[in-house]
Amino acid sequence: MSEPADRDALIEAITREVLAALAAPPADACRDCEGSCAAHCPDKVRTVVAGGADRIAYHGNGADVPRDLARFIDHTLLRPDATAADIDRLCAEAREHAFAAVCINPTWVRRAAGILRGTRVAVASVIGFPFGASTSDVKAVETRRALRDGASEIDMVINIGALKSGMRDLVREDVARVSDACHEAGAINKVIIETALLTDEEKVIACRLAQLARADFVKTSTGYASGGATVYDVALMRETVGPRMGVKAAGGIRTAEDVREMIAAGATRIGASAGVRIVTGGSREASEHY
């Protein structure tokens, strides 16, 4: 059997196993804190972070969160009509609440990097956003430019049409080109598979191809399709990629309950426009940044 045929057979076998596993009862979540570990068990969370966790999401009162743990929450502004003043405000909020990163469109990366220089807040940018239909060459160039401008995290959109056409080699190469550009600069690549547009089988295939292409995370959504993150999709993605690869839930996550459910399903990062409301326990009104 040829290499592509071998790979396709492996992916199909994994798909069957993952879907069968999801039919089983889910593993118990942490029973000690019910999603509020950052406040109730900070030492335990610090141990998890020291062991390699990238993000910890939280659903309790933001005033109870130790500042060193609050920085594991992303802060997102990807609206096409976002202004320079909006970006400045986003960065100020990220500094005030010690978020892990701001996630913005490429045109604002240099500005945000300048504002956040000297802080622990990272700058993440999106590539091929929001449709994923750019060519691989363009995505690689766009990635390198964002990294030169100061980004250290890249969220790329998978080539959705190619995936649905069965063009698996093209999809894998598309992701690999961005992964290579990121890793050359010490950055990470998160692959948005846009779950709302895929069948369950296509979601599994997309995750597996991203894994084969050396991506660091798979991510549910851009926030611009017909739907965002769901608990089921996060569980499916986690089951597919295993425990070592990151899973980021994004799109429509606005409440504490949303965050709790995504983390319980296996998400290790949360992309949210309502980050301020989450970390302040709803004490401040948050604008919708998607």
**Full pLDDT tens readout for the chain, 290 residues:** 566 677 777 777 777 777 666 655 444 444 445 445 655 666 655 655 554 455 543 333 334 445 554 556 778 999 999 999 999 999 999 898 888 889 999 999 999 999 999 998 999 999 999 999 999 999 999 999 999 999 999 999 999 999 999 999 999 999 999 999 999 999 999 999 999 999 999 999 999 999 999 999 999 999 999 999 999 999 999 999 999 999 999 998 877 778 778 888 999 888 888 777 777 776 544 444 44
| Domain chopping of the chain, boundaries | 3-279
Residue 162: partners with Cβ closer than 8 Å, 6 or more residues away: 170, 171, 174
The one catalytic residue among 203, 216, 219, 258:
219
**What pLDDT score was predicted for residue 10?**
74
pTM of the model: 0.77
**What pLDDT score was predicted for residue 71?**
55
For residue 242, with 0-12 CB atoms within 10 Å meaning exposed, 13-18 middle and 19 or more buried, which class applies?
exposed
The one catalytic residue among 74, 149, 155, 258:
155
- Phi-psi map region of 72: left, alpha, beta (phi>0 left; psi -120 to 50 alpha): alpha
Q: Which residues lie across from 118 on neighbouring strands?
A: none
* 155 has catalytic annotation: yes
Residue/partner pairs of 45-51 with CB below 8 Å, 24 or more apart:
45/69
User: Which option is the CATH number for 3-279: 3.40.50.300, 3.20.20.70, 3.30.2130.10, 3.90.420.10?
Assistant: 3.20.20.70
Q: Please tell me whether the peptide bond between 80 and the residue prior to it is cis, using omega within 30 degrees of 0.
A: no
Q: Is the dihedral of CA 240, 241, 243, 248 positive or negative?
A: negative
* 248 has catalytic annotation: yes
CA distances in angstroms from 282 to 30, 61, 74, listed in the order given: 24, 8, 16
pLDDT tens readout for residues 19-76:
666 655 444 444 445 445 655 666 655 655 554 455 543 333 334 445 554 556 778 9
The one-letter amino acid code at 218 reads V
- Per the CB < 8 A criterion, the answer to whether 122 and 158 are in contact is no
DSSP 78-134: --TT--HHHHHHHHHHHHHHT-SEEEE-GGGHHHHHHHHTTSS-EEEEEESTTT--S
The one-letter amino acid code at 61 reads N
Q: Measured between alpha carbons, how far is 262 from 232 in angstroms, rounded to an integer?
A: 9
The one catalytic residue among 139, 190, 203, 248:
248
**What pLDDT score was predicted for residue 26?**
46
- Per the CB < 8 A criterion, the answer to whether 48 and 274 are in contact is no
**What pLDDT score was predicted for residue 282?**
64
**What pLDDT score was predicted for residue 167?**
98
DSSP 8-state code for residue 218: E
Q: Measured between alpha carbons, how far is 209 from 117 in angstroms, rounded to an integer?
A: 35
- Per the CB < 8 A criterion, the answer to whether 121 and 94 are in contact is yes
- Assigned token pair, 233: 């999709």
* 219 has catalytic annotation: yes
